[in-house]
Amino acid sequence: MIGNINHIAIVVPDLAEAAARYKNTMGADVSEAVDLPDHGVTTVFVNLPNSKVELLHPYGDSSPIAGFLAKNPSGGMHHICYEVDDILAARDKLVEDGARILGDGDPKIGAHGKPVLFLHPKDFFGTLVEIEQV
Catalytic residues: 130
Please enumerate in sequence order all residues whose Cβ is within 8 A of that of 120, keeping only pairs 6 or more positions apart, or say none: 99, 100, 101, 102
Between the alpha carbon of residue 111 and those of residues 9, 27, 37, 39, 73, the distances in Å are 12, 23, 11, 9, 24
Cα(31)–Cα(58) distance, integer angstroms: 17
The CA distance from 8 to 29, in Å, is 15
Rg of the chain in Å (alpha carbons): 15
- Secondary structure class of 72 (helix, strand, coil): coil
